[in-house]
Amino acid sequence: MPTISDVARITGLSKSTVSRVINNHPYISSQKREKVLKAMEEIGYYPNPSARRLRGHTSNTIGVIVPRIVNPFFSYLVNSIEQEAFKNNYQVIIFQSNDLKDKELYFLNLLKNRQVDGIIMTSIENDWETIEPYMQYGPVLLCNEYVNQSSVSKVRLDQKKGAYMGTEHLINKGHQKIAYCTGGLFAGYGRDFDRNTGYQKAMDKHQLTPNPNWIFIQRHSIEDGKKVVKEILSMNDKPTAIFSGSDEVAAGIIIEAKENGLKIPDDLAVIGFDDQPLAEIVDPKLTTIKQPIDEMGIKSVELLIQMMNSKDSMVEEVQLPIQLIEREST
Amino acid sequence: MPTISDVARITGLSKSTVSRVINNHPYISSQKREKVLKAMEEIGYYPNPSARRLRGHTSNTIGVIVPRIVNPFFSYLVNSIEQEAFKNNYQVIIFQSNDLKDKELYFLNLLKNRQVDGIIMTSIENDWETIEPYMQYGPVLLCNEYVNQSSVSKVRLDQKKGAYMGTEHLINKGHQKIAYCTGGLFAGYGRDFDRNTGYQKAMDKHQLTPNPNWIFIQRHSIEDGKKVVKEILSMNDKPTAIFSGSDEVAAGIIIEAKENGLKIPDDLAVIGFDDQPLAEIVDPKLTTIKQPIDEMGIKSVELLIQMMNSKDSMVEEVQLPIQLIEREST
DNA sequence: TCCTTTTATGAAATCAGTTTCATACTCATT
DNA sequence: AATGAGTATGAAACTGATTTCATAAAAGGA
């Protein structure tokens, strides 16, 4: 495997000169530059990233932490991040935290060791106090998930408005008994909190009070959605509509509801969140809140690259719009 | 950020001794080992992977090349690979080739530079002649996609049998006019070729000859599936069943067929391939050929680790069984 | 007791690059 | 002609680890 010394030997120049050619330094005669380039091409030389990293600090690699890559929301987000990064000559390393604190911390450590130049976190498992110290080693950007902290850059969506729009849409369709189904718990900040707030606000505005039984937390999968329907069927006071924080749960609800002879949207209206591909696959097709995943990925990479290039630590917050897509389930 | 020299200074020992503790070398007094461990813990020292790598150590990283991470088949495969690798203390880097030859080559180069200890390829873009030379730099394993080459390890499925089973299932249901829809072209080897062979074999056995118009190639997405239905509707001689090489295309077929008033499976039977989550979401639910994705990922990691540890290059081939899941679309 | 083997440690070389420092040459300006 | 700025290049130091080589003490065997 050829090294920079081989190139130097072949061209009769020093390693320094070869290195300068590689890194596009000024003050190299074009004649020698040609010579080096040609030799590099000839012997198939490719600089060793470990060596560059060790000395030169930048690895041209950014890390992305996702909870689960099989979740289409995240795989689409990662895809958009990867595309944009590649355009800018950055490599992406994808880390799956599986909602595990230890794994998340392990990945953040790679920032410390300059394995990655920066990190995009699309989920947060540890307390902010635990994560914050890592920011001294390199830029960290929160994408999608976020915390109430002004010291960190964020690219996020107007979740509150999204939930508000969705809930109000159901109200406008004549519903009063609206269930609410979320992936998270009831923390005092972050994505899910904002959604809760949006839902509450819409309900309050129309003087509606939901039955506490209609609030479902920590529902993530299609299976979870099916279970929600079973629970609802056993209630005396049943909701006529459900706002779900995830398209997958919404899909599960639709499938199980049909199985039990319920007509959608007449007997039960369902609205999802994300606009995943499956929203157009379920029958009836799912009304949902579309998150601009691609824009979010692109913006995150743009911002992170800016952060990596700026000497002093900059903090910026970007909020992207969100949109209701009406289909057949409401 | 602390280095090994810091640990050496604090403990009053040499870098060599500290390094030996880190790497569990013999001949270290337990008293000094304790001292080093304690100091490392105290200052939050974590060895710099670039430096280790440079010196010719393994990086404990394996690379996985996928064409598209948004394709659920690959995201599930990557997920299983990642889980198994993490268990074995390996990190996974995911590369998206986007079906681009250049990108694939770029990733293979990382093997050359010891960025990764081994590579799992789940798709192949370049000719085998182009890829083969990279195998001298480290183990390469073909997972899912493969070539007719005995010099490389493979973990693959019995695609031929899968296609045969699917086609025969349709024949047993009374169909004679069976269309065939594949993602690939008609190459003379590999995954898609085996499937074609399986389809042909089943048709031949029952003395059936498909109309050449019923063969659709290079169909990947839900949209592609919808288009297939449109094409079929404009034919005089229409097939009564379709074997699709992908659940997504099959889903598109079902959606568009229903849109046009066709009853499934009565007017058109559809069978997919993969058993992706959407197979249970479409209505009617999709009959499909289940690929044991998790087993495939686990087996691939197991085998690759074996290859990385064995001094002489070993070549092994694993073939996993495949299974028909009958649902409502046939 | 002497010699060999085992145990334990450190100095220095090494990995493949980048960067600093030193140097020399070419012009332009005073 | 002397000075200074700009251009072009190489030698050597440096990045943070691992490994080889050298050495010394302790243990075991004759």
CA distance A25 to A32: 13
B83 neighbors B140 (Cβ within 8 angstroms): no
Q: In the structure, what pLDDT confidence band is assigned to residue A57 with cuts at 50, 70 and 90?
A: low
Residues A312 and A239 in one domain: no
Residues A281 and A167 in one domain: yes
End-to-end Cα, chain A, rounded Å: 62
Answer whether residue A329 is part of any domain. Answer: no
**pLDDT recorded at residue A137:** 81
Residues A259 and A218 in one domain: yes
> What's the rounded mean pLDDT across residues B108-132?
88
Two structure tokens written together for A34: 């040609």
What does each C-alpha distance from A313 to A90, A135, A302 come to in angstroms? 20, 9, 15
CA–C1' distance B36–D13 (Å)?
A: 29
CA–C1' distance A114–D16 (Å)?
A: 12
Answer whether residue B53 is part of any domain. Answer: no
Interface contact B113-A49, CB threshold 8 A: yes
Residues B183 and B196 in one domain: yes
Task: Give the CATH number, domain containing residue A203.
Answer: 3.40.50.2300
Q: Which residues contact A92 (CB under 8 A, 6 or more apart)?
A: A61, A62, A63, A64, A78, A81, A82, A85, A86, B94
Mean model confidence pLDDT for chain B: 91
Q: In the structure, what pLDDT confidence band is assigned to residue B113 with cuts at 50, 70 and 90?
A: confident
Q: Which residue has the tokens 């000839």?
A: A42
Dihedrals phi, psi of A144, to nearest 5 degrees: 85, -65
Per the DSSP assignment, residues forming a β-bridge with B241 are B178, B269
A329 neighbors A254 (Cβ within 8 angstroms): yes
Residues A179 and A101 in one domain: no
Percent over 90 (pLDDT), chain A: 71
Interface contact B109-A281, CB threshold 8 A: no
Pairing of strands A323-325, A287-290: antiparallel
Answer whether residue A209 is part of any domain. Answer: yes
Where is average pLDDT lowest: A49-63, A190-204, A235-249? A49-63
Pairing of strands A287-290, A241-244: unpaired
Q: In the structure, what pLDDT confidence band is assigned to residue B186 with cuts at 50, 70 and 90?
A: low
Interface contact B278-A283, CB threshold 8 A: no
Residues B225 and B299 in one domain: no
Two structure tokens written together for B318: 């694993």
The tens digit of pLDDT for each residue in B246-282 reads 999 999 999 999 999 999 999 999 999 999 999 999 9
CA distance A262 to A252: 13
Q: What is the DSSP string of B240-286?
A: SEEEES-HHHHHHHHHHHHHTT--TTTT-EEEEEE--GGGGTSSSPP
What is the per-residue burial (b if ≥16 Cβ within 10 Å, else e) of B46-67?
ebbbbbbbbeeeebbbbbbbbb
> What's the rounded mean pLDDT across residues A209-223?
92
B160 neighbors B198 (Cβ within 8 angstroms): yes
Q: In this complex, which of A103, A113, A255 lies closest to B49 when CB atoms are compared?
A: A113
Residues A112 and A87 in one domain: yes
The tens digit of pLDDT for each residue in A59-88 reads 788 999 999 999 899 999 999 999 999 888
Answer whether residue B241 is part of any domain. Answer: yes
CA–C1' distance A328–D29 (Å)?
A: 91
Amino acid of residue B166:
G
Calculate the CA dihedral of residues A133, A139, A140, A142 and round it to 10 degrees: 140
Q: In the structure, what pLDDT confidence band is assigned to residue A311 with cuts at 50, 70 and 90?
A: low
Closest residue in B to A77 (Cα–Cα) = B70
Residues A68 and A150 in one domain: yes
Residues B171 and B138 in one domain: no
Answer whether residue A196 is part of any domain. Answer: yes
Closest residue in B to A251 (Cα–Cα) = B281
CA distance B192 to B27: 56
Two structure tokens written together for B203: 């048709």
* Overall number of domains in chain A: 3
The tens digit of pLDDT for each residue in B4-23 reads 999 999 999 999 999 999 99
Judged against a pLDDT cut of 80, whether residue A58 lies above it is answered with no
**pLDDT recorded at residue B190:** 80
Burial of A111 per CB tally in 10 Å (0-12, 13-18, 19+): buried
Structural domain for B228, as ranges: 159-290
Name the more confident of A269 and B2. A269
Judged against a pLDDT cut of 80, whether residue A184 lies above it is answered with no
> What's the rounded mean pLDDT across residues B299-327?
90
**pLDDT recorded at residue B289:** 96
Q: In the structure, what pLDDT confidence band is assigned to residue B39 with cuts at 50, 70 and 90?
A: very high
What is the per-residue burial (b if ≥16 Cβ within 10 Å, else e) of A256-270?
bbbeeebebbeebbb
Calculate the CA dihedral of residues B214, B215, B217, B222 and round it to 10 degrees: 40
Nucleotides of strand C lying closer than 7 angstroms to a protein CB: 7-20
What does each C-alpha distance from B93 to A82, A158, B1, B60, B79 come to in angstroms? 12, 32, 24, 11, 12
Residues A147 and A70 in one domain: yes
Interface contact A255-B93, CB threshold 8 A: no
Answer whether residue A327 is part of any domain. Answer: no
CA distance B44 to B194: 53
Q: In the structure, what pLDDT confidence band is assigned to residue A106 with cuts at 50, 70 and 90?
A: confident
CA distance A1 to B1: 31
The tens digit of pLDDT for each residue in A236-252 reads 999 999 999 999 999 99
Q: Give the residue whose CA sits closest to C20 at C1'.
A: A16
Task: Give the CATH number, domain containing residue A18.
Answer: 1.10.260.40
What is the per-residue burial (b if ≥16 Cβ within 10 Å, else e) of B305-321?
bebbeeeeeeeeebeee
DSSP-derived letter for residue B184 is: S
Judged against a pLDDT cut of 70, whether residue B62 lies above it is answered with yes
Residues of B in Cβ contact (< 8 Å) with A109: 46
> What's the rounded mean pLDDT across residues B186-212?
88
Q: How many CB atoms within 10 Å of residue A185?
A: 11
**pLDDT recorded at residue A248:** 93
Answer whether residue A12 is part of any domain. Answer: yes
> What's the rounded mean pLDDT across residues A193-200?
91
A72 min Cα distance to partner chain B (Å): 7
**pLDDT recorded at residue A36:** 94
Residues A120 and A102 in one domain: yes
Residues A60 and A31 in one domain: no
The tens digit of pLDDT for each residue in A255-290 reads 999 999 999 999 999 999 999 999 999 999 999 999
The tens digit of pLDDT for each residue in A143-181 reads 998 888 888 999 999 999 999 999 999 999 999 999 999
Answer whether residue B326 is part of any domain. Answer: no
> What's the rounded mean pLDDT across residues B17-36?
92
